[in-house]
Amino acid sequence: MDETVAKDVSALVAEHYAAVYRYAYRLSGTAADAEDLTQQAFLAAQRKLDQLRGMDAARGWLFTIVRNCFLAARRQNQPSVANGELRWDELPEEATAPTAIDGELLQRALDALPEDYRLVVLMYYFEDNSYREIAETLEIPVGTVMSRLSRAKACLRAGLWGPRLKELLVTKH
């Protein structure tokens, strides 16, 4: 893609709007908020286009703007993390992980996470960032990232894998 054209915000929208919307949806949890976040992000990107150094960085840059927009309007009521955890060393030996997860069920599990945990989880699963990259971006210690990631994953397993395990137990008895 020609770089002059690529700098144009229209090209950014065309190439990244779907990914930005999906990210915003996973972060905010509703279609209306996701669309609002997406619009805010591209308006901010339009104003700060000179800060983008290279199209290779565009996707991550836009995701960062979405995160900033989301955090700027963050909700007052934070869910607590005490809604069940399932550590992988607690899984029964014969249990296999689900091979497909319903998108809505996943969203409910994400919504139940505190925002700090949800951010880390999205950066890990959605952006495929390493724990080092997450720590650098969020400016938090690596140990904190590992701890949040591990607890967040345990919560997701409890929400997404837990019901299946219960079914298995019921079937067995």
Partner 1 sequence: MDRERLREMIDACRPESADLALPELAEARAELERDAVLRRQARRAEQFDRTVAAAMQDVAVPAGLQDRLMAALAAGAPRDVATPVVTVADNGRKSRWRIPAYTGIVLLGTAAVLLLSLTMRWFDTGDDWQPRAIADAAVLHFPNEFDPREQRLWTNAKAPSASHPLSRHLSQGSNPPQCVVRNVAGCSGVAYLLQGRTGALGTLLVLTPRATLSSFPSSPPKSPQVDTAGCAAASWRENNRLYVLVVAGNAADYKSFLRQPGRVAQVESPSAFRLATAY
Q: Which of residues 43-72 bind partner 1 (CB under 8 A)?
A: 43-48, 50-54, 56-57, 60-61, 64-65, 68-69, 72
Residue 165 engages partner 1 in binding (rule: CB under 8 A): no
**Which among 46, 65, 41 is positioned nearest to 7, based on CA atoms?**
46
Q: DSSP letter at 91?
A: S
User: Which residues, 111 to 140, sit near partner 1 by CB under 8 A?
Assistant: 111, 122, 124-126, 128, 130-132
* Residues 83, 120: Cα–Cα separation, whole Å: 18
Q: Which two tokens stand for residue 71?
A: 């955090």
Q: Binders of partner 1 among 79-108, rule CB under 8 A? A: 87-89, 91, 93, 95-103, 106, 108
- Residue with smaller CB distance to partner 1, 43 or 169: 43
Least separation in angstroms between residue 124's CB and partner 1 is 7
Q: Round to whole Å and give the CA distance between 111 and 137.
A: 22
Fill in the per-residue mask, 7 to 36: x = in contact with partner 1 (CB under 8 A), - = not in contact.
--xx--xx--xx--xx--xx-xxxxxx-xx
Compute the distance between CA of residue 59 and CA of residue 3 in angstroms, rounded to an integer. 15
Q: Which two tokens stand for residue 134?
A: 């997450």
